Structure 1
Amino acid sequence: MNLVFINHHHIHTVKMPILHKCRLLHLINRQAWAKVISCCTRRTSATTTANNGTKPTHSVKPFSEMPEALSGPRFISMFYFIYLYITKKSPVLTSYYTMMKQKHGDIWKQNINIGKGDNNYIVMVGHPDYAKTVFQAPETEHRRFKLQLIDLFTKKNNFPKSLALLDGKEWEEQRKPTQEKMLRPAVVANYVPLIEKVTNDFIEKLGRKEKTEDLFTDLLNYATESVGMLCFNKRLGCLENDNNPVAVHVRKVFEMLGTSVMRPQKSHMSPDSKFFKEYEKHTFEFGKIANEIIDSQKIFLSKMKDEGKLEQYLEEEPNFLYSLLSDPRVTEESATSMVMSLFGAGIETSANTLTFVLTDLSMFPDKQKKLYDEIQRIVGESTNLTKEHLARMSYLKACVKESLRRTFPLSSGTGRYLETDLEVGGYEIPKDTLVVVNSALMCKDERFFPRPTEYLPERWLRDTEGELTISRNFPFAYNFFRIGPNSLFSPFLKNEIFKLLRYFISLMIIQNFQISLPAGVTEVKSHYTLFRTPSEEVILHLKKR
């Protein structure tokens, strides 16, 4: 499976001066544009909306008859994407996908010209049954979607391919040892003491103030410190010093990756462009810091081995870097690349998801109270959390899962290049087509999740009855933890270590504080870089329990 971000600059390329002539687009209502696009899109009689939540039955139709998005006059769709880009409506891609689903139903195609030799179309599916068909289709080649900016940077500087660029046998060989160390809960549970040290210090820091002026920045510092501890067994000092250069460079890299996806032209993809040079600068700076830490830890581990203390050290403290370096299937170069990738993406994904978990609990105090009651019942006043505690905390896990559903981390979802022709939703989709499973839409679809805009962790509990149990009939509607092993970011989104991190800090904050947002705040605005992220500073009030 591949994490997919539709690159609209491959749909239409326009000269940027035209933007100066289009300032009135800022004033255009999205509903009006929806009507314009609706008039210019081709709808066939084969629309496959499953209004009752069941897969429709009909004869198989050729790919040519599948509804096509933005198939009208070229200038209409060109101006629409310019409008999305310059207004930066949040989150614009979700709005676009919602509009297309309302028009075309649960399956449609779009011409995007991803690259030479690829099928010109992607297919977007928004029904769990179709998702199941895609996810369960045979896969042997492990072909993966790649972000072009990372690819350009790697080729220009003659660097070895990172995890984000590997596919085929290369990816298969690298992912197995990585997954063994990150996706198995029994293995990951050994990292609880490392996370606990950092979390206790973070809670102590929060206790010295009545509110956070910028929750996301605080969580970025916490994520940098905790993910650094997990990757390197080393404290980086990010909690004591708000000047966090690692987070600055990581944020900029992800922001620019997101921008490269959304820009309506591709001139920025030139190695000589100002945009690329800035991306290159921040990537180099992050790499320099990470490499210095990795080199120091290699020296430390070598010294421990020479002194005969390594075995005892590893018994007392798990070491992720050493687990890779000592694996005969992993080269030293690959181990370094894996750890750097995990470090950067782990910071970004953890800070974003934790922000929405905590703001949801702040906006819904009854759910926060229920979680606190569970913590008191299972943990009590203990500050020594264990894997046994976490294993029993079903409501904590439900709260995190519901926040991820309600504010889905990706703009659409995961996708897959078909290795054979495949029937999906009543259409024959040809080999090599990229099919995207739009989990972001399904998570907000009332057919699969009743009362989808509400924050209802109870829908994930086994003892829940009534309408909320409908989602159990559609396990493929929520794919955040079903991301396949070949996804671009599966090591980060499906990572048991980072899941543990989310549980740990959420539990500790609610155990120690009653949290709330300022009076009158009923939502947290957000947009996408590569992942969903807050669009503005979030103030979180902290009342000690």
Structure 2
Amino acid sequence: MRSFMPGGEFHNASIIEFAMKMRERYGDVFILPGMFGRKDWVVTFNTKDIETIFRSEGIWPHREGLDSLIYFRTHVRPDVYGDSKGLIATQSSEWGKLRSAANPVFMQPRGLRMYYEPLSNINNEFIERIKEIRDPATLEVPENFYEELSRLIFESLALVAFDRQMGIVRKRRDNPDALTLFRTSREIFRLTFELDIQPSMWKYVSTPTYRKMMRALTESLDIAQKMLEETRVELEERRQRGDPINSQSMMERLMEIDPKVALIMGMDILFAGVDASATLLSALLLCLAKHPEKQVKLREELFKVMPTKDSLLNEETMKDMPYLRAVIKEALRYYPNGFGTMRSCPNDVNLSGYQIPKDTTVLLAANALMKDETYYHRADEFLPERWLRDPQTNKKIQVNPFTFLPFGFGPRMCIGKRVVDLEMETSLAKLIRNFHVEFNYDASKPYKSFFVMEPAIPFRFKFTDVKD
């Protein structure tokens, strides 16, 4: 405990910095002692151990939830949540039932088709916003540009979560309900790290952080309920008028399952997605700004499918963009977002020669291996080509699949993966088609990692218009 307090070795250290230091001292497997009501965790960097856990997790993988979020949904607002506490907070058959219902909505490509055009339009707005805020002389955006990226991501995710455009990129930047949801979703994401990952006494004492979390959760719930009801009423009015309605939207399909499920999934999309996706988009821009030759190569691919800067993207044009997808995949590897994932052992298991008893929580440090030279040749270089087929042999480089799991693995992998993919592909394609991106500052340590990565520097990108 002393090491986490002011003056201690790990005061203000990220979980990755702490775990990597433990790996240096104790090797690829060690125990992270629990405290204040949290159980001990086993941490492993061994790819065979990671595979063993995933292969033995069964059809209902158990992952320790975020206890503060579960407490709110179970004890503070059971009137709203009842038996439907969401994918983050449920386990066993309850989780399996909800995931089975949500999978066809989130995991099938056909469910995303309708979002290409509105996402293109949101990104066109963002491009106009960049032109408004960049310095006319230097063409650099202000120091708070990450806030603008976060607004773009929030706007895109809210389109999926609540079937509406909030307008906070340009049209309605002061939209009060949207701004409250924007603020609280980001706040909740940070507070979960302080309450559920770092040592915290909130389970015994009502700490200031705990009270802040309960307020943020209450605010976000109130706004989300209001928005969902407004959307439901609007859709009903359109039906009565005989106006066309796209019944394939994710929100409408979730409403058909259960309005409560639509509410919870909508909030979880924002809570889990805004900061993580904004950070990924900033990493993509940073990688391409610092590797201009890769940016040129990507733009050449984009010219073929986007003849004009304001070309709307659709399912057909997005099919043939292998380099775009390779860039995104390499950025996920180059800047691993977070440490890994957790699972609880359903049975006794042998990890690295140690007998690990049933129900032990295991932290699988797969993300920390993405910059390990043991698994990735030239690991410190940004090389999107590593994910493409060799032009001579038509073969891809073989990578240990258990060292590249940015969205997890198995039945409990991130349900929002396809949404994130679509969002990143659309935003990056639009930005690189419209601008040459530069970053003329030190980027040796651009991020700090707590629960996941957070910016450690201002992102004053320079955006120069591309000449057609």
Structure 2 counterpart of 1:207:
131
Provide, for residues 197-248 of structure 1, a one-character-per-residue CA deviation record: whole Å limited to 9, x for no partner.
Answer: 2111111222333332122111111112111122222121201254433322
After superposition, residues 154-165 of structure 1 pair within 5 angstroms as 154-159=73-78, 160=81, 161-165=85-89
After superposition, residues 229-244 of structure 1 pair within 5 angstroms as 229-240=159-170, 241-243=172-174, 244=179
Provide, for residues 102-157 of structure 1, a one-character-per-residue CA deviation record: whole Å limited to 9, x for no partner.
Answer: 233332333326858xxx54222213333222211141453221112212323441
Provide, for residues 42-95 of structure 1, a one-character-per-residue CA deviation record: whole Å limited to 9, x for no partner.
Answer: xxxxxxxxxxxxxxxxxxxxxxxxxxxxxxxxxxxx325655687424xx2212
After superposition, residues 84-233 of structure 1 pair within 5 angstroms as 87-89=11-13, 92-112=14-34, 115=37, 121-159=40-78, 160=81, 161-208=85-132, 209=134, 210-213=139-142, 214-233=144-163
> C-alpha separation between the residues in 1 aligned to 2:65 and 2:20?
25
Provide, for residues 415-443 of structure 1, a one-character-per-residue CA deviation record: whole Å limited to 9, x for no partner.
Answer: 22111122233333222122222022211
Cα deviation, residue 393, structure 1: 0.9
Provide, for residues 9-37 of structure 1, a one-character-per-residue CA deviation record: whole Å limited to 9, x for no partner.
Answer: xxx4xxxxxxxxxxxxxxxxxxxxxxxxx
Which sits farther off after the overlay, 163-172 or 341-350? 341-350
Structure 2 counterpart of 1:403:
331
Q: Secondary structure at the match of 1:451?
A: coil
2:439 to 517, 525, 530: 517
Structure 1 counterpart of 2:213:
279
1:444, 1:452 within 8 Å by CA — same for their partners in 2?
A: yes
> C-alpha separation between the residues in 2 aligned to 1:302 and 1:242?
27
Q: Secondary structure at the match of 1:354?
A: helix
Quickly say closer, same or farther: Cα 1:126–1:86, change in 2 above 3 A.
Answer: closer
Provide, for residues 151-199 of structure 1, a one-character-per-residue CA deviation record: whole Å limited to 9, x for no partner.
Answer: 2323441332233211111111111222211122232233212211211
| Structural RMSD (CA) | 2.6
Question: What is the total number of aligned residue pairs between the two structures?
Answer: 448
2:272 to 345, 358, 383: 345
Quickly say closer, same or farther: Cα 1:85–1:216, change in 2 above 3 A.
Answer: farther
2:341, 2:364 within 8 Å by CA — same for their partners in 1?
A: yes
2:15, 2:450 within 8 Å by CA — same for their partners in 1?
A: no
Q: Secondary structure at the match of 2:331?
A: helix
Residue identity (%):
22
Q: Secondary structure at the match of 2:279?
A: helix
Quickly say closer, same or farther: Cα 1:537–1:283, change in 2 above 3 A.
Answer: farther
Quickly say closer, same or farther: Cα 1:342–1:525, change in 2 above 3 A.
Answer: same
Cα deviation, residue 447, structure 1: 0.7
Provide, for residues 364-399 of structure 1, a one-character-per-residue CA deviation record: whole Å limited to 9, x for no partner.
Answer: 111111111111233333612222222211111111
After superposition, residues 51-70 of structure 1 pair within 5 angstroms as none
Quickly say closer, same or farther: Cα 1:419–1:305, change in 2 above 3 A.
Answer: same
AA matched with 1:484:
G
After superposition, residues 394-473 of structure 1 pair within 5 angstroms as 394-410=322-338, 412-463=339-390, 472-473=398-399
Q: Which runs of 5+ in 2 are unaligned?
A: none
Quickly say closer, same or farther: Cα 1:102–1:497, change in 2 above 3 A.
Answer: same
**Normalization by structure 2: what TM-score?**
0.88
Larger radius of gyration: 1
Q: Secondary structure at the match of 1:112?
A: coil
Provide, for residues 289-310 of structure 1, a one-character-per-residue CA deviation record: whole Å limited to 9, x for no partner.
Answer: 222211100111222333444x
1:443, 1:449 within 8 Å by CA — same for their partners in 2?
A: yes
> C-alpha separation between the residues in 1 aligned to 2:450 and 2:229?
30
Q: Is residue 160 of structure 2 the alignment partner of residue 255 of structure 1?
A: no
1:513, 1:542 within 8 Å by CA — same for their partners in 2?
A: yes
Q: Which runs of 5+ in 1 are unaligned?
A: 1-11, 13-77
Q: Secondary structure at the match of 1:499?
A: helix
> C-alpha separation between the residues in 2 aligned to 1:179 and 1:343?
18
